[in-house]
Structure 1
């Protein structure tokens, strides 16, 4: 009997894989070498990160409160943040992407610490800023993938209009973030991420967000899940090749990947004995662990 199952099938894996490769290409560039066209959006993101950090350290309400305060310790921390920003600027000029990003992050952390000392932390905590910035980077990568796929498939004016709206939302999120309204900025960037995800699914499935897949047998469905699991596992390999993880993130990543591997092995044994329904459920659990590992690696996948 033919089996039917409604699933969401996306090209997010492909999009993120491409975005990761582009990131690796940008990081590998050398001084004096013109950037490839595919690198330009990422270079623009780097410039934006420098500009945003500069405004955060000098023009934000938190920075102004620190400067105006009589808190010597807070002012000292801001001075340390400024010194770190200068290090980032030198690294950026020399093409050292890793040192630049580390210095920018450290500079922001110093300012957050100083802000807490003058009671500005409720509107400016490091976790909420880190969350926004990670999602903004994901939105930029997905937008780049969306543009390429739209140009390839030519789905029509409706998708072009959606893409224009997303660009507007991302710009509005950036402007709002610079005003220290992190909550509103995050809401806007999440709105953009959700729209991009839905549109990518729609283009992939021919304008239908939920596609009904027809499997002639449990074995066929199992093979589909196995392929999906393998695709996610391949993505993690590429992510790690281009983005070494901090120790804490590495521990979470390794734990989820070990669990995913064990579950996949269990599913293969179940399938070998003919228990395909059980094997399918086990593979789905395995893939969920891989998704968690991808997020531990710093790539946000909506939904």
Structure 2
């Protein structure tokens, strides 16, 4: 998209977005059905066919277009219901949002700044994953190390290519490449987690020995919680939901410890297995593919 193409739309957006607002101290006649219909057509055209639509790969523009679509839908619903005042209000706000987005997108410096910031964020995530993998790698068998190292090795060339793109000023393309690297690390992390699935072909000599095994298994999942939170960065709702499962798991773990201390290891094993299931649910909520 050419910057000049966006600037072409600014006067048209400003003309409609600057129309008098209702309730500003003057008696304003409600808009006619024909006027609102024209405004509906304009907003829809700007959302779907304007140069802004061509910039939908930009996260900021994408968010703005989504907000404009929501406002357009509400305006259209009000229009269908015959409420021209509300329809006009929603459409005016949609035009104002689109105007702000067009001004922002027309500034190459601001666009590059946003792209630089996004690149830095994804690069930090990739580096964090590299550190996490190295931590987990120490507990793998030689066979598993070879398997997962081969997958990680492929990302090194991708990271190098992203760095070359950055030197050429291609921040958005470099970010997209790093996001693919990020996906590889998530896949490997999920595989590492799946490899910790419990297999009951081990014969325990005593209930106490089995309890110790379950305790180690519980702790391995507990250690993954902060790693998953750091890497997946869940939204507030998901975070609260996962925290509830984690707290339930810790409560059950405490109960299991008391049962074991009292000598009731069979009950403690069952309670501890339930605690582990709670942590597994928390990890699935965050985004990890946890085995049942």
* The two structures share one fold, judged by TM-score above 0.5: no
TM-score range with shorter-chain normalisation?
Answer: 0.3 to 0.5
- Bigger Rg, which one: 2
